[in-house]
Amino acid sequence: MGVRLSGGRLRAVPVWLVPATVTLLATLAGLDAAQPWRDELATWSAATRGVAGLFRLAGTIDAATGPYYLLMHAWLAVAGDSVAALRLPSALAMAATAGLTAVLGHRLWDTRVGTLAGLLFAVLPGTSRYGQEARPYALAGALAVLSTLLLVDALRRPSRWRWVGYAAATTALGLTHLVALTLLAAHAVAVLTGSVRTGPAAGGEVEGRAGESSGGGGRGSPDRLLGYWLATVVPVAVAVAPLALLARGQRARQLDWVDAARPGDLAALAGGVAQSGVVGGVLLGLAALGAARAGRRGLLPVSCVLAPVLLLFLAGLVVPIWVPRYLVFVVPFGCLLAGAALSSARLPAALAVVALTGLLGLPDQAALRRTHEWPRGATVDYRAVAEIVGRDRQPGDAVVYSPRDSWLFLDLGLRYHLGGRTPRDALLVEGQERRGDLWAVECDRPAECLAEVDRVWLVLAGRRSEPLAAVPGTKGDALRDRFAVARVWPRPGITLALLTRRG
């Protein structure tokens, strides 16, 4: 397996090396430039808890992400919780995804298709976006391609250990990202149609030996392969089912911000997962061209794109579950089809298209390194607020958040940047870890809890010209009765006010 030169000779370079290296360089560039956004703050909050706290969290709201949190808990214990440390596993996973995509392209087509597909994946803004996010999407992408690659090998050269490897990778995929198990529908198509049972295999071997991949009663016969696959999928289902059932019971609370799917969502999907409308359009066009030209050989990657998309969309029509980033794991398969389309051109021309695609995505690459907030531009500048508080805080200061129970995680944002220098949380009664949740419980008599406080740092969601008027309920009444606004610092998506006791 190597990178083919225009003259037809092979360099002694693995097909995965160049795409993986380019992807790693792209994702490491500006890895910690954008501050952690609210989803990453949830990851930090979960991963820095004890194991018992993680299990409590999984039992209340975030079971679907629990295995990823457990992995990050172990990682942060070694690497620390800096922004770069939080995101480095995702950057490495994206590099692995690019390399595995190149290998899968080599298995299904040839070295040129694999290399072009891997390089195209490397230059997508979405690759950098999710390779620089402390969430499970990059890891799910790597496991999705690995699972599919192991299936191809198991179908072409059936053996016990190949099926065991496929089962292990698919189980890990389900535990990392439940939605990614929709990929099994595409794998079923490959098994039933036999579309990947012949072609270039590992080490350059060509399959099709009698009794292995041809018909008849050998271990590579269609009926036996279907039996092997079903026998492999059963333990995967058994391993993932408890997590899926627990997550199903939490869906209404976990996804209460998601709307039902609409037909227009399908049209916007390519731009959503590529993190660029223009680049998404280019990728979609190339993938469609590759699918039209690939014929039977392209059935597996086509299915790996269409099956998850259609299944999630149809489910999203009934229950609110359609979130474009949940489908990031299908992008490598779209790149495979695009690579197949580009491979028909001369190599310099094909590489020029890849480079042009990267250039078209440069504005989005720059934007995602400024903020990860969604939708784009909805920045919440936790870091700026934390810098002000850290600079001007005095002994005895307290902090109050409004609202406390929103998905903005105002308290987590301040605590992440200030750590032990965060002022006392005057209204806190029960913290997130003890509660087994992502939100804290505040005292129901705020006037009493604030009785001994002379200065309050009030952290508000949004831009507020009248900070005290923006706090509702008894908490707002207590603050208005006892405190006056000394100074206000409006920042993107967030407002900080310093309150001092009247008189």
Helix, strand, coil distribution of the chain in percent, nearest 5:
65, 10, 30
Q: Compute the average pLDDT of residues 152-173.
A: 96
Q: Compute the average pLDDT of residues 295-299.
A: 91
pLDDT-derived band at 204 (thresholds 50, 70, 90) equals: very low
Q: Compute the average pLDDT of residues 287-292.
A: 97
Distances from the Cα of 22 to the Cα of 19, 115, 120, 358, angstroms: 5, 11, 10, 12
Number of other CB atoms surrounding residue 296 within 10 Å: 11
Q: Compute the average pLDDT of residues 339-354.
A: 96
For 40-58, what is each residue's pLDDT tens digit?
999 999 999 999 999 999 9
d(CA 486, CA 474): 21
Would you mind telling me the total number of residues written for the chain in this entry? 503
pLDDT-derived band at 11 (thresholds 50, 70, 90) equals: low
pLDDT at 252: 83
Q: Is it the case that residue 205 has pLDDT exceeding 50?
A: no
Distances from the Cα of 461 to the Cα of 40, 104, 169, 390, angstroms: 18, 46, 41, 19
Tokens of 88: 């480095």
pLDDT at 214: 41
pLDDT at 218: 52
For 62-80, what is each residue's pLDDT tens digit?
999 999 999 999 999 999 9
pLDDT at 6: 45
Q: Is it the case that residue 2 has pLDDT exceeding 60?
A: no
d(CA 339, CA 321): 31
pLDDT at 13: 84
d(CA 6, CA 9): 8
Q: Is it the case that residue 30 has pLDDT exceeding 90?
A: yes
Instruction: HSE, CB side, 13 Å, CA atoms: give it for residue 151.
Output: 30
pLDDT at 251: 87
For 223-277, what is each residue's pLDDT tens digit?
899 999 999 999 999 999 999 999 999 988 888 888 899 999 999 999 999 999 9
**Nearest alpha carbon to residue 148 among 336, 429, 277, 352:** 336
Distances from the Cα of 398 to the Cα of 268, 291, 470, 499, angstroms: 45, 60, 18, 10
d(CA 383, CA 468): 22
What global pTM score does this model have? 0.92
Tokens of 300: 């597996």
Contact 438, 461 (CB under 8 A): no
Q: Is it the case that residue 199 has pLDDT exceeding 80?
A: no
Q: Is it the case that residue 478 has pLDDT exceeding 80?
A: yes
- Which of 65-69, 204-208, 446-450 shows the lowest per-residue confidence on average (mean pLDDT)? 204-208
DSSP character for 257?
T
How much of the chain exceeds pLDDT 70, in percent?
Answer: 92
Q: Compute the average pLDDT of residues 375-379.
A: 72
Distances from the Cα of 357 to the Cα of 3, 11, 102, 304, angstroms: 21, 26, 18, 23
d(CA 101, CA 96): 8
Mean pLDDT of the chain: 92
Buried b / exposed e over 257-276, threshold 16 CB at 10 Å, is: eeeebeeebeeebbbbbbbb
pLDDT-derived band at 195 (thresholds 50, 70, 90) equals: confident
- Which of 84-93, 131-140, 368-377, 452-461 shows the lowest per-residue confidence on average (mean pLDDT)? 368-377
- Cα angle 47, 49, 54 (rounded to 5 degrees) comes to 80
Q: Is it the case that residue 5 has pLDDT exceeding 60?
A: no
- Which of 78-87, 214-223, 319-328, 477-486 shows the lowest per-residue confidence on average (mean pLDDT)? 214-223
- Which of 6-10, 109-113, 435-439 shows the lowest per-residue confidence on average (mean pLDDT)? 6-10
Number of other CB atoms surrounding residue 358 within 10 Å: 19
